[in-house]
Amino acid sequence: MRIGELEQRSGASRHTLRYYESVGLLSVQRRGNNYRDYDPRNLTDLIFIQQAQGMGFTLAEIREILQAQREQQIDCAQGALLVGRKLQEVEEKIAALQKMRRFLRSEKTRLELSAAELQLAKAGQT
């Protein structure tokens, strides 16, 4: 399929498709006229790329997974390691966000009390 058809079927822009090709996420055949010829597998890869990005995987991580799949070098144990690394990252981000939330709640309470004290002090001066 040509780039326009893949663009329409995937929702990805031509710019994105060309970029993914340049960084090794999509493998594309060239016709004699130098037009890109996309395999139906590219649509499957694009869906995977979009889903993986939505889950927080970087393009480098996605490229690593796709290359391993293409070369049939990934097994369940390797997949579990990749998922485990991502899970650890997510858990670290959650912990950091929870710490930030506690700080922000505390700071909000402190500022609200301070503002209330100022209001009472102003009311007492009039």
Could you report the per-residue pLDDT of 4-56, keeping only the tens digit for each? 899 999 999 999 999 999 998 998 888 888 888 898 899 999 999 999 998 88
Q: Are residues 44 and 89 in the same domain?
A: no
Q: Which tens digit of pLDDT belongs to each residue from 49-61? A: 999 998 888 999 8
Q: Are residues 69 and 105 in the same domain?
A: no
Range of the domain at 38: 1-74
Kindly give, in sequence order, each residue whose CB lies less than 8 Å from that of residue 31, ignoring residues fewer than 6 positions away.
Answer: 37
Q: Are residues 62 and 44 in the same domain?
A: yes
3 state DSSP class of 79: helix
- Please, which pLDDT band fits residue 70 given cuts at 50, 70 and 90? confident
- Please, which pLDDT band fits residue 77 given cuts at 50, 70 and 90? confident
Helices 59-70 and 40-54 cross at an angle (nearest 10°) of: 140
**Which residue, of 39, 59, 74, is where some domain finishes?**
74
pLDDT at 82: 81
CA 124/CA 126 separation, integer angstroms: 6
Which pTM was predicted?
0.65
Query: Considering its fold, how many domains does the chain have in total?
Result: 2
